[in-house]
Structure 1
Amino acid sequence: MSTSYDGLQFPIHPENHKPSTSSTGKQIIAEALATVDHQSSVDALAEKNWRKHYPKYFKALVTNGIREQANAIQIAEDGLRKAHQSFEFYRHEQKYVLKDVMLLPTETLHTFKLQGSSQAAPEWYVPYRGQKLQGQALLDQVAIWLAAGIIEPSHAEALNAAMAHPEWFDLSDRNMVLFGAASEAGPLTWLAKWKANIIAVDLPNSRVWNKILSTVQQGNATLYAPSTTQLAADTPLDILTEQLGANLLTQTPEIAQWLAQKPETLDLAAIAYLDGEKHVRVAMAMDAIMQYVSEHKADSSLMFMCTPTDVYAVPEEVISASAEKFQQRSQGQKLLTKSIETISRSHFFQKNLHNLIASDNGQHYGIADCLVVEQGPNYALAKRIQQWRAILARHQGQHVSINIAPSTTTHSVTKNPLLKAAFSGASLFDVEAFSPETTNAIMAALWIHDLRNPNSAANPEVKLEHPLELMMEGANHGGLWRVAYLARTALPFAALYGFAADKLPLDKVIQKFKK
């Protein structure tokens, strides 16, 4: 079949020759639901307004996953299988199914090595509001976040453990693969200070590689980077920025084989992000590579960062806290939100989900539905694919670090005016959005904790009461799990407040709203 497409793509419609993201997304979610909830599966396939109503079906995934432990595994298996059977890969004007892409002939990727120039000892601190928090100051801030419901107890415990074990941060014994190494929300800056062996995978792009090379050069780590050409050790930096890199979407099998041939144990981190439908494609590329490397190197570990704006199973205590917050609202807040809810015909300020679901393990769990419709079904699908891989890999005995990172004011978020304003106004609902440098420091440390602490949920030998507890452990949701309202129904008001707060002194307004 002749085509102008290249690399990993959504299935191309045979009539209009265009990819259909909604159709593919519906089919994957429907297949994931088919065994555990036939009716929801049928409804998903028949859904006419997927972009508006997709949260209903993502919630069904979690609801059914909670009810039976085996369901969570079944959903992950079925969803991933359908995804790998659905996506296509184009090369030399020929089409292949993604599940077969690793069988294609490949070109060799060479490895370039760069040693950082620093001799400094590994050090960890958390940049926060103009300060570098360490020691007691960091312990105090972690306690503040915990008391405010910004982070979960297991997240606080992990950060405190990391503080108690500075020796964990010498990563000279780890080989850490970063898919999307230059990602704004990624751990590159910290790994470069912690003597890590960094295997960086990112686009062949001079700006990207200038950032990666300069970061590593200033630190004490060692960089291993792919290149389609053999490069001499003394190659000038300006040449390196033009020659290094590999494209996850078009060089998927090359990257997989390059990594699988390495003798060292690898820690694989899926941190690449692209806008829109490309995010799903790059998530699938990373998943295909991780699956291949894991099959050939069973001792590999996986790492993912979840978004708080998703739907999760949560402990019963979280639901109780949200319900209590709803009951304890001030009279002013009750009157205002009730009026807005009535005028909007219950579109705004809907009460959060406070019902509990019984699981076959004897426990009860709630659901934190923090999906933001405006982020779209492609974003939700990309993040769900990563959750599925994490659940399935750990079930199969693999070490998996997956933690919820807080809402963060990265460029990819703040370029959306609504989300930028909503984050600015999030404090109105006791939600905190973190700066990129704060999130980077926290999440990098959490990854190290998960690799070093044998009692971490990342360790498959640690018993979890339910597979979905893997995402509950270590969560830093910024307070979203514990808000009184369904998050997406309060978002427009938070955005309105955020817009206004930039121009007006609203301190007194917020005090009246909260008290």
Structure 2
Amino acid sequence: MEGPRGVVFPRTGESRSTSALGRTVVADALRAVDPVGARAAEHETDWRHGYLGHFRRLVEAGLLSREAALTIAGDGLASLHARMTVVDDEGREGPLADVFAAPARHEPLATATVEGDGTVEREFSLPYRGERLRGGALRRRLDTWVTDGVVEPSCAEAVGAVIANPDWLDLRDQRIVVLGAGAEMGPLPSVLRWGGDVVAVDLPRPEIWRRLLQTTRRHGGRLHLPVPAGTRTDDPTLTSHAGADLLHRLPQVAEWLRGTEGRLVLGNYVYADGATNVRVATAVDALTAQLRRERDDVALAFLATPTDVYAVPGDAVRHAERGYARRGAARRALRVVSGGRLLHRNYPPGVDPGMNDSLVPQQGPNYALAKRLQRWRAAVAREQGAVVSFTVAPPTRTRSVLRNRALAAAYAGAHRFGIEVFEPSTSNTLMAALLVHDLRTGGGPTHEQPWQDEAYAAAHGGLWRVPYAPRSALGLAVLLGLGGART
């Protein structure tokens, strides 16, 4: 039987074990800073269910110092790049590091450009619950989110700066590369609405490109898409021929992006199910490192998942503690009924920073590794002087989430605990505004510690400021949401 091609997991005996790779990379990341934690990860016998504590430890160990956090990030990246491999079309396997040095085996990609037919907007507005908020109504919504603990105050401040500087929305001086252009959370619709240039990369699937071309036609920007040389530029032909495969044609994509004129903003919005998520995340990271070696004008953009482990400011801890005190009677009753399994407090009293653990077991260790890889790259690139936009996005009703019945039910019941789950159009527009802010301010303010960079402008939906540790409320949220979950 023919094995996988492109970027693949290394062989472990007769198989390509995702668990073995995950254990080793986490252990390697921890080894220099937390050797005890590294040994614990190496000896974890049930990685599929036991990974949660080890991913938490990666963040905890990084709080020792700035140097500790950057060492974990750099060593984790180095381990992954040293271990993942590439299998070419003939079945030959080699190191990931050699992928860009191999002779070109595929025809280079050409660029087709599609101009939108719509008007260009120069005022920031946000779709929210059937309305389009702007001006005073939008500022009031931001204030309400801050009061309710849905976003960090710095998030509202950053969006407020974009509202106050509408000229920032003119992104014609940038080339916004959207890797995973069809993703629901990406900035593509907003950049096109504001008249900007989007360089789109996604798989050669007609349904993706049909949707992207329709979006482009509605707005006033320009879409630059990869096509075989000589492709006609009518929409039906572009729909059938556009696309580039990051997993299997990485050098081809790198060559195409290398020749893009203008400042590159390399936006990572890729997602795949299961183990493929780690493979494509690794491919994107290899592409990122290669382009940064070849060009000195590459900015990076990431959307972080809210369902991860983060160090959070003391103000978020105090907000959660006030809520915990207000819910005393109901909390005690539920804890007694559940035998103490439900509704643990989110943080020990008075800690600063707090440790928010919102990892969701159902998402699995491959998802956690793929997202942690992006956090590591953001930290390392920022330290090296790159402009980096890294923002924690809110829980959102995306198609990938709603395919998981347990997560869909949990999201439907989350409001009972003070967590707001966003619609995709609200999330991607809000995140696009934060991207604009970061691009116009050189990556946002400088912080002493990497965890503070990650916490800045976070739109976590309330997970950082609710009274209860998210996993201790997850089962109850699922039960409460079963009747309202969308399918």
TM over 0.5, yes or no?
Answer: yes
Q: Measure the CA separation in 2 of the matches of 1:265 and 1:169.
A: 16
Contact 2:123–2:163 (8 Å) recurs in 1: no
C-alpha contact 1:351 1:484 (8 A) present in aligned 2: yes
Determine whether 1:150 maps to 2:150.
yes
1:11 maps to 2:5: no
Distance in 1 of aligned mates of 2:83 and 2:368? 17
State the partner residue of 1:216: 216
Give the whole-Å Cα distance in 2 for the aligned partners of 1:476 and 1:103.
40
Please name the residue that 1:132 is paired with: 132
Deviation at 1:356, TM superposition (A): 6.9
**What secondary structure does 1:394 align onto?**
helix
Aligned residues: 483
Matched letter for residue 161 of structure 2: A
Match of 2:263 in 1: 265
Shift of 1:339: 2.3
State the distance in 2 between where 1:284 and 1:348 align: 37
For structure 2, the 5+ residue unaligned runs are: none
Q: Deviations over 1:164-193 (max 9, x none)?
A: 111111111111100000111111111111
Change (3 A) 1:119 1:502: closer
Per the alignment, do residues 118 and 60 of structure 1 end up closer, same or farther by CA in structure 2, a change over 3 Å counting?
A: same
1:507 matched to which residue of 2? none
Shift of 1:67: 1.2
* 1:332 alignment partner AA: A
Partner amino acid, structure 2, of 1:384: R
1:311 aligned onto 2:309: yes
Query: How big is each residue's C-alpha offset from its partner over 1:19-69, in whole Å with a ceiling of 9 and x where there is no partner?
Result: 211110111000000000001101101101111111111111111111111
Question: Aligned match of 2:31 in 25, 31, 34?
Answer: 34
Instruction: Note if contact 1:421-1:494 (Cα within 8 Å) is conserved in structure 2.
Output: yes
The separation in 2 between residues aligned to 1:50 and 1:4, in whole angstroms, is: 24
Residue 282 (structure 1) shift: 1.3
> Which range is displaced more, 260-269 or 390-399?
260-269
Give 1:412's aligned residue: 400
- Matched residue SS, 1:246: coil
Distance 1:42 1:329, change over 3 A: same
Match of 2:348 in 1: 354
Counterpart for residue 163 of structure 2: 163
**Which has the higher mean CA deviation after the structures are superposed, 492-501 or 474-483?**
492-501
Equivalent-residue separation in structure 1 for 2:402 and 2:71 (angstroms): 36
Amino acid corresponding to residue 396 of structure 2 in structure 1: T
1:394 aligns with 2:377: no
Q: Name the structure 1 match of 2:300.
A: 302
Instruction: Please report how far the alpha carbon of residue 312 of structure 1 lies from its aligned counterpart in structure 2 after TM superposition.
Output: 0.5
- Conservation of the 8 A alpha-carbon contact between 1:176 and 1:198: yes
- Rounded to whole Å, the distance in 1 between the matches of 2:317 and 2:121 is 43
Question: Could you tell me how far apart the structure 2 residues matched to 1:337 and 1:426 are?
Answer: 18
1:119-140: CA deviation from partner (whole Å, max 9, x where unpaired):
4343431111111111111111
SS class of match (1:199): strand
Are 2:430 and 1:442 aligned?
yes
Contact 1:314 1:367 in 2 (8 A): yes
How high is the TM-score relative to the length of structure 1? 0.91
Separation in 2, partners of 1:67, 1:323: 25
- Among 281, 286, 289, the alignment partner of 2:287 is 289
Counterpart AA for 1:396: Q
CA 1:500–1:238 in 2, change beyond 3 Å: closer, same or farther? closer
Distance, in Å, in 2 between the alignment partners of 1:122 and 1:89 is: 44
Distance across 1 between alignment mates of 2:405 and 2:281: 25
Q: Which residue of 2 aligns with 1:375?
A: 363
Deviation at 1:420, TM superposition (A): 0.8
Change (3 A) 1:470 1:105: same
Please report how far the alpha carbon of residue 417 of structure 1 lies from its aligned counterpart in structure 2 after TM superposition. Answer: 0.9
- Post-superposition Cα deviations, 1:345-404, rounded to whole Å, max 9, x if no partner, equal x433222232677xxxxxx42211111111111111011000000000000000000000
- 2:84 is matched with 87
Q: 2:57: which partner in 1?
A: 60
- Amino acid corresponding to residue 409 of structure 1 in structure 2: R
CA contact (8 A) 2:149 2:466 kept: no
| Structure-1 separation of matches of 2:206 and 2:280 | 20
- SS class of match (2:4): coil
Does structure 2 retain, via aligned residues, the 8 Å contact 1:62–1:311? yes
Deviations 1:54-109 (A, max 9, x none): 11111111111111110111001100000111111111211111122111222312
Q: Identify the match of residue 488 of structure 1 among 468, 471, 482.
A: 471
- Name the counterpart of 1:104: 102
Letter in 1 for 2:481: G
Q: Verify the 8 A CA contact 2:124 2:162 in the aligned structure 1.
A: no
Q: 3-state SS of the aligned residue for 1:8?
A: strand
The two structures have a TM-score, normalised by structure 2, of: 0.96
- Aligned to 2:33, the other structure's residue is in SS state coil
* Structure 1 residues 84 and 132: CA distance shift in structure 2, 3 A: same
| Whole-Å separation in 1 of the counterparts to 2:229 and 2:94 | 26
Letter in 2 for 1:448: V
| Alpha-carbon distance in 2 for matches of 1:300, 1:425 | 41
Letter in 1 for 2:32: T
1:269 alignment partner AA: G
Query: Letter of the aligned partner of 1:498 in structure 2?
Result: G
Give me the whole-angstrom Cα distance separating, in 1, the residues matched to 2:239 and 2:122: 27
Shift of 1:502: 6.8
Q: Percent identity?
A: 38
Q: Deviations over 1:321-356 (max 9, x none)?
A: 22232222141332123321x1xxx43322223267
CA contact (8 A) 1:110 1:227 kept: yes
